Amino acid sequence: MKKNLILLCIILAVLLNSSGCWNQRELNTIAIAAGIGIDVEKSGTHKKIKLTAQIVRPARLSASSGEQKGGSSSQVLVLDSTGDTVFDAVRNFTMLSSRKLFFPHNQVIVIGEEAARDGVRPLLDFFVRDHENRGRVWLLVCRGKAGDILRAKAGQEEIPALGIAQLEEAGAAASRTRPMRLHEFVNNLLSKTTSPAVSNIELVKQEDKKAVKLSGSAFFKDGKLAGFLDETESRGLLWVEGKVKSGIIAVSSPDSGEKLSLEIIRATSKVIPHLKDGSVSVDVVIKEEGNLGDEMCGYDITSPVKLSIIEKRQSEVIKKEVEAAIKKARECKADIFGFGEAVQKKYPVEWKSMERDWQEIFPEIEIKVAIQAKIRRVGMTVKPLEPE
Amino acid sequence: MKEEEKLSSVQVFFLALNFFLASAFILMPSAVAATAGRDGWAAILIAAGAGILLSKLYAALCIRFSGRTIILFAQDIAGEIPGKIMGLLFAWFALHLGALVLRNFGDFMVISLMPCTPLIVFNSVIMLIAAMAVYRGLEVLCRFNLMLMPVILVSMAVIIIFCFTIPNFDAAKLLPLFENGFSRVLKTSLIPMTFPFGEGVLFLMIFPNMSNSGDAKKIMAGAIIASAMIIASITAETVAVFGSNAKNFVYSTHSMIRCIELAEIFERTDTLTIVIWILSGLIKISVCLYAFVKGCTQLFALKDYRPIVIPSGIIMTALSILVYENVIEQTEFASKIWPFYSLVFELLLPLMLITLDSVKKVF
């Protein structure tokens, strides 16, 4: 009995001391990266990778609730580092930061325009290969330098990168940009025909300070940034993908031309490819349900006939948005909708001969867009605020 | 020699189930995706069919020579010297397989969790536990396995269910079916047939200890079907989440589990993979070690197998460090050489024995 007790003590002593990792790192030795910006620096033929890391200062964050609140001190530290490769640049941070960068809590990766135009495949390999990185991180592209984006204020958050991440999530309420997580993007990047789109972020002035704003999307062709979609075109893309979560559709009233707004409640889409005599056509069927959100036109919506007029106009607006996106995609010969993959799924045999020339085939295919938009409810009031 | 330990059919069933699931749950999705693309799940189901045929062969041997292991009946059939050579080959297979599983186990821990920790730390720690389990005897190993089984199966069920909630889960990514022809899938099915289903040949060392060895056929078929369903569904899920990128991951199951996020509460579930990996990897390594140790004991007519458990464990650990130089070599070996190499032990050896025996009976 006594022997067992001693044994138990020894086992406990060993276990308690040997748990944990070989190379464990405590919170006070790591620098938690909240956001990473990737740019390229070119001098002549020489190309260097410039990374900007937004690092959380935990001490500042906890102090902000107490007496030290205020002042100009920021809750984050933004540092730049350059290197020949992405990982090289990551490691070079250790020469100016006293702590080693820690990636699992990284929220966003912002890629500068120049770097994105050179191709993102080589830039993203590190973030997929390294075990510390998570696929859930948001991926964005910005016009100009990514470093400037990470130095600006974002939303109401203390940590700007967190703000950008939440902008991506909140952006679903407007559905005017294409939020994209890294693992989804990488999956699309490996497709031979689909041109993935990601949110585009830009600098704006807010209370005399630099701040960021989501603005449309950017799309890639062959792993390289190929162009930007404005907000209308972005929504058009989301309609086709069935990814519109919410948003406002402004419709002009039939009598005055003034606007009334309809809130999107739900939307679904179906992409049906057809192959006839060797030519491809695609049917896009979008079903949408909305509610009347506000009226600025004094249009009386109370009769079913009048309601159906508005429903029709709503469909037209949606159709215009989709057609704007299609036009842009055709111009750039970029299959942002993934029609190629839809064809591949339905006609795998015929697809083999098309795959290589899809870039040329895609702009020529016939795309039929059918919209079924409904208005279900009109809110808490019935008639507009006008005397009869 | 200590009196024979007797195992119930339920115990052997779960031992076999865990044995088949162990490393395949983590490794199989990437292994089949490399050649079969998005049709990997079909290759696994086909392989399960082939695996059931193999296990019929093993069960037939077991019933014909009830109470004797392959090491002993090989000598009965082929004569002493050729039989001993066959037994030696079989023991080598157990040792090699154990070392490979151990290496996979260590590699996973190093690659996905602790890159700076030396491989030998993981390998020797897990081997220590496996050796202890084997030292305590087969019955203890089986009961230990029964205790772990609920944890493993519940974790796997949680993973399989929660993967449906991953935002970019889309079953349509599995289409089109058999794009590159069905023959590709058939060829690929050789991989899951030899790993893990064919590895059931090691159970020829365990069947004699069953109290009702007539159940062997049913047990193995049941374990193969159950494990194939689990492995095939996780394989299909990796494709539904990653699409064509699934083949690019070293451990696509693990990478997929990292994507799970449910209501911002249930995330970072990748620890579940580690739980499964450690618990069921441990059992698989123990079974291999037991087969090797028991095989050597009978081969050299030793009185008891216990004294050689620790040395065998050390040999297996050393071999696991030595087998590959790097992870590329491992993938190359596992996909190109292993299917043919292992068929020698999994199909050729038992088939030869049963044919020889049948021929002898006729004359």
Nearest-CB residue to B245 (from A131, A190, A348): A190
Complex ipTM over 0.90: no
pLDDT for A262:
87
What Cα–Cα distance (Å) separates residue B282 from each residue in A254, B96, B320? Answer: 73, 16, 14
Instruction: Output the pLDDT for position A352.
Output: 85
User: In the prediction, which pLDDT does A62 show?
Assistant: 58
Domains and CATH numbers, chain A: 27-229 (no CATH), 243-388 (3.30.300.210)
Q: Which positions in chain B touch A23 (Cβ < 8 Å)?
A: 114, 116-117
pLDDT tens, position by position, B194-206: 888 889 899 988 8
Question: Among A210-214, A285-289, B299-303, whose mean pLDDT is lowest?
Answer: A210-214
**pLDDT surpasses 70 at A80:** yes
Q: Is a pLDDT exceeding 60 seen at residue B97?
A: yes
Enter the tokens of residue B279.
Answer: 């618990």
Given a cut of 80, whether residue A52 has pLDDT beyond it is yes
Contact B114 A23 (CB under 8 A): yes
Ramachandran region of residue A218, left (φ > 0), alpha (ψ -120 to 50) or beta?
beta
Whole-Å CA distances, A253 to A210, A256, A261, A386? 38, 6, 10, 15
Average pLDDT of A282-288?
90
pLDDT band at A20 (very low <50, low <70, confident <90, very high): low
| B168, A181 contact by CB (below 8 A) | yes
Query: pLDDT class for A73, splitting at 50, 70, 90?
Result: low
C-beta atoms of B117 and A181 within 8 A = no
Q: Do A345 and B172 touch (CB under 8 A)?
A: yes
- Give me the pLDDT at residue B308, please: 92
Distance CA B23, CA B279 (A): 11
Which burial class, exposed, middle or buried, applies to A267 when counting CB atoms under 10 A from its CB (0-12, 13-18, 19+)? buried
pLDDT, position B3: 53
What is the residue-wise DSSP string for A125-146?
A: HHHHHSTT--TT-EEEEESS-H
- Cβ-based neighbour number of residue B21 at 10 Å: 27
Mean pLDDT (whole number) for B285-310: 91
User: What gap in Å lies between CA B263 and CA A257, rounded to an integer?
Assistant: 43
User: Of A19-33, A338-352, B316-330, which range is least confident?
Assistant: A19-33
- Mean pLDDT of all residues belonging to chain A: 84
pLDDT of B310 higher than 90: yes
Mean pLDDT of A11-25: 72
Whole-number pLDDT of residue A31: 84
Residue B228, pLDDT > 90, answer: yes
More confident residue, B183 or B114: B183
Residue with tokens 């159906």: A308
Average the pLDDT over each of A14-23, A69-78, B3-12, B324-333 and give the range with the smallest value: A69-78
Minimum mean pLDDT range among A57-66, A330-339, B51-60, B285-294: A57-66
Give the pair of three-digit tokens for residue A297: 């036109």
If you compute the radius of gyration of chain B from its CA atoms, what whole number of angstroms results?
A: 20
What pLDDT is stored for residue B47 in this prediction?
Answer: 92
Of the candidates B121, B29, B100, which has an alpha carbon nearest to the alpha carbon of residue B322? B100
Q: H-type helices in chain B, by residue range?
A: 9-21, 24-36, 40-64, 70-78, 80-112, 119-136, 138-162, 182-188, 190-194, 216-242, 252-257, 270-299, 309-322, 327-332, 338-343, 349-362
Q: Is the pLDDT of residue A16 over 80?
A: no
pLDDT digits (tens, 9 = 90+) for B256-281: 888 887 766 666 677 788 888 888 89
Q: Count other C-beta atoms under 10 Å from residue A227's C-beta.
A: 18
A344 contacts in chain B (CB < 8 Å):
176, 179
CA distance B245 to B239: 8
Q: According to the model, what pLDDT value does residue A68 have?
A: 46
Superfamily of domain B9-350: Hydantoin permease (1.10.4160.10)
Most confident of A100-104, A111-115, A133-137, B174-178: A111-115
> How far apart are alpha carbons B123 and B107 in whole angstroms?
9
Cα gap B287→B281, rounded to integer Å: 10
Residue A75 Cα distances to A145, A152, A212, angstroms: 22, 12, 17
Question: Structural domain boundaries of chain B?
Answer: 9-350
Output A113 or A71, whichever has higher pLDDT: A113
Angstrom distance (rounded) from CA B171 to CA B156: 19
What integer pLDDT is reported at residue A387 of this predicted model? 77
Whether A76 shows a pLDDT value over 70: the answer reads: yes
Provide the CA A58 distance to its chain's centre, in angstroms. Answer: 27
Query: Which is it for strands A259-276 and A279-295: parallel, antiparallel or unpaired?
Result: antiparallel
Looking at beta carbons, which residues of chain B come within 8 Å of A191? 243-244
How is residue A385 written in tokens? 């605020």
Tell me the pLDDT tens digit for each residue of A180-225.
888 888 888 888 888 888 998 888 887 778 888 888 899 998 888 9
Average pLDDT over residues A298-305: 79
Interface of A with B (CB under 8 A): 21-23, 131, 134-136, 181, 183-184, 186-187, 190-191, 344-346, 348
pLDDT in tens, A227-276: 898 988 988 899 988 888 888 888 888 777 788 888 888 888 999 999 88
Option in B112, B114, B248 nearest A21 (CB): B114
Cβ burial of B116 (10 Å; 0-12, 13-18, 19+) is exposed
- Angle, CA of A211, A171 and A195, to the nearest 5°: 100
Whether A174 contacts A168, CB under 8 Å: no
Q: So what's the pLDDT on residue B1?
A: 41
Mean pLDDT for the stretch of residues A356-381 = 86
Q: Which of A336, A342, A86, A325 is nearest to A188 (CA)?
A: A336
Band (pLDDT 50/70/90 cuts) for residue A66 is very low
Contact B168 A181 (CB under 8 A): yes
What is the per-residue pLDDT for A69?
Answer: 44
Q: What is the pLDDT of residues B120-167, one digit of tens each?
A: 888 999 999 999 999 988 899 999 999 999 989 998 998 899 888 887
Does B117 contact A22 at a Cβ distance shorter than 8 Å? yes
Query: Tens digits of per-residue pLDDT, B58-86?
Result: 888 888 887 788 888 888 888 888 888 99
What φ, ψ does residue A249 adopt, rounded to 5°? -110, 120
Distance of alpha carbon B202 from alpha carbon B12, whole angstroms: 12
> Cα–Cα–Cα angle for B144, B148, B153, nearest 5°?
145
Quick one: B236 exposed, middle or buried, by C-beta within 10 A (0-12, 13-18, 19+)? buried
Q: What is the mean pLDDT of residues B41-52?
A: 92
Closest B-chain CA to A20: B114
Q: State whether B244 and A345 contact (CB < 8 Å).
A: no
**B interface residues, A as partner, C-beta within 8 Å:** 111-118, 121, 167-168, 172, 175-176, 179, 241-245, 248, 255, 258-259, 261
Does B172 score more than 90 pLDDT? no
Quickly list DSSP for B335-350: IIIHHHHHHIIIIIHH
Residue A101 contacts residue A33 (beta carbons within 8 Å)? yes
Is residue A287 within 8 Å of residue A259, measured between CB atoms? no
pLDDT of residue B100: 92
pLDDT greater than 80 at residue A41: yes
Backbone angles phi, psi at B166, to 5 degrees: -60, 130
Looking at chain A, the whole-number percentage of residues with pLDDT higher than 70 is: 94
Name the band, by pLDDT with cuts 50, 70 and 90, for residue B232: very high
- pLDDT, one tens digit per residue, over A117-146 is 988 888 888 888 887 788 788 999 998 888
Q: Are B123 and B102 in contact (CB under 8 A)?
A: yes
